[in-house]
């Protein structure tokens, strides 16, 4: 039941972390739309799960937890939409980071 779901969640968190480790050199070596959108998804998911743990650790009470989780889902959806919009309408994540490094 819930222990299997927790185990799958833990495995998913580790898989996304390892994916991010692979995407960072890929972003440098072969930047492009596939890497940009993969970074958008992986970074959003990684941040969502991390902030979810902060909520679990520090928010108490039924109503505050529901409000915090709703806010987290809204924030995560807006983050992903914003990154996708940036990838589609602007230079993309890889090129933007390269431009920052060239300053």
Say if residue 58 carries a ligand binding annotation. yes
Distance separating alpha carbons of residues 4 and 2, to the nearest angstrom: 5
Say if residue 46 carries a ligand binding annotation. yes
* CA distances from residue 37 to 3, 25, 40, 55, 92 in whole angstroms, order as listed: 32, 15, 5, 27, 9
Annotated binding site for a ubiquinone: 58
Annotated binding site: 46, 58
Annotated binding site for heme b: 46
């Amino acid at each position: 039941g819930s222990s299997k779901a927790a185990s799958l969640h833990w495995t998913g968190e580790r898989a996304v972390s390892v994916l991010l480790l692979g995407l960072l050199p890929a972003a440098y070596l072969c930047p492009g739309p596939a890497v940009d959108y993969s970074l958008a998804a992986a970074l959003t998911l990684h941040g969502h799960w991390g902030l979810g743990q902060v909520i679990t650790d520090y928010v108490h009470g039924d109503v505050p937890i529901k409000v915090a989780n709703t806010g987290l889902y809204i924030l995560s959806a807006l983050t992903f939409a914003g990154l996708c919009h940036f990838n589609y309408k602007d230079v993309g994540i890889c090129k933007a980071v390269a431009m920052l490094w060239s300053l």
